[in-house]
Amino acid sequence: MNKKDLEIIENSIRVIPDFPKPGIMFKDITTLLNNAEAYKTLIEHLVDRYKSYNLDYIAGIDARGFIFGAALASHLGIGFVPIRKKGKLPYTTVSQKYSLEYGYDEVEVHIDAFKKQDNSTANVLLIDDLLATGGTASAASELIKQLKANCVEACFIIELSFLEGAKKLDVPVYSIIKE
Per-residue pLDDT reduced to its tens digit, 14-60: 999 999 999 999 999 999 999 999 999 999 999 999 999 999 999 99
Catalytic residues: 64, 101
> How far apart are the C-alpha atoms of 106 and 96, rounded to whole Å?
6
> pTM, whole model, 2 decimals?
0.96
Listed in sequence order, the residues at least 6 apart from 11 whose beta carbon sits closer than 8 Å to its beta carbon are: 38
142 found inside a domain? yes
Confidence check: pLDDT of 100 > 80? no
47 found inside a domain? no
28 found inside a domain? no
DSSP secondary structure, the chain, as one string? --HHHHHHHHHTSEEEET-SSTT-EEEETHHHHT-HHHHHHHHHHHHHHHTTS--SEEEEETTHHHHHHHHHHHHHT-EEEEEEETT--SS-EEEEEEEETTEEEEEEEETTTT--TT-PPPEEEEEEEEESSSHHHHHHHHHHHHTT-EEEEEEEEEE-GGG-GGGG-SS-EEEEEE-
- The arithmetic mean of pLDDT across residues 132-150, rounded, is 97
10 found inside a domain? no
- The arithmetic mean of pLDDT across residues 127-152, rounded, is 97
8 found inside a domain? no
**Boundaries of domain holding 73:** 53-178
Q: Residues 116, 122: contact at Cβ < 8 Å?
A: yes
38 found inside a domain? no
How many domains does the structure of the chain reveal? 1
Beta carbons within 10 angstroms of residue 143's beta carbon: 25
171 found inside a domain? yes
Beta carbons within 10 angstroms of residue 3's beta carbon: 7
- The arithmetic mean of pLDDT across residues 108-124, rounded, is 96
Q: What is the pLDDT of residue 102?
A: 73
**Whole-number percent of the chain with pLDDT over 70:** 99
34 found inside a domain? no
